Amino acid sequence: MIEEEDEDFLNKKKSKKSIIKSILTFILVIIGVIILALGNVLGVTYLFWIGVSIMCIASFFLNVKKRPKEPLIQTLCVLRCDLCDYTKVQDYKEGDFVFKVAGKCSKCDGSMKINDIYSVKLKTEKS
């Protein structure tokens, strides 16, 4: 349940970002080509170089987009209440270990202990 929700949420967030980045990159490349062509036609050298630098920026955006392809791994802790068996999942923090007391139960006065620590692989955008 939790895994699916997390994956879904992350995928939505990412695909939106990557669409915006693709559009931005596309626009930058077009602007770069236009300025480059204009500089070429008019024989203006500095326009040519402006076009080249805009295309460099565009390729930088493309590289940034490629990075998140490696699988993301999220480590989660399953907390369980001593008294009422209420369980909760939260992000793993440095120093967390199994049986560590990680706070008070929100349902009763019991203390929440880490019952399990596990990692989930989060799907990345289409690879």
Report CA 104 to chain centroid distance, whole Å: 31
> Does residue number 111 form part of the binding site for Zn ion (CB under 5 A)?
no
Indicate the residue type of 78.
V
Using CA atoms, how far apart are residues 28 and 62, in angstroms rounded to an integer?
11
- Selected from 31, 86, 117, 123, the binder of Zn ion by CB under 5 A is 86
CB of 112 to Zn ion, least distance (A): 7
Total chain residues near Zn ion (CB under 5 A): 8
- Selected from 45, 69, 108, 121, the binder of Zn ion by CB under 5 A is 108
- Selected from 110, 117, 120, 123, the binder of Zn ion by CB under 5 A is 110
Using CA atoms, how far apart are residues 22 and 92, in angstroms rounded to an integer?
33
Q: Is the Cβ of residue 109 or residue 125 nearer to Zn ion in the bound state? A: 109
- Selected from 107, 116, 119, 125, the binder of Zn ion by CB under 5 A is 107
CB of 89 to Zn ion, least distance (A): 15
DSSP secondary structure, 35-93, as one string:
HHHHHHHHT-HHHHHHHHHHHHHHHHHHHHHHGGGSPEEEEEEEEEETTT--EEEEE--
Interface residues with Zn ion (CB under 5 A) are 81, 83-84, 86, 105, 107-108, 110
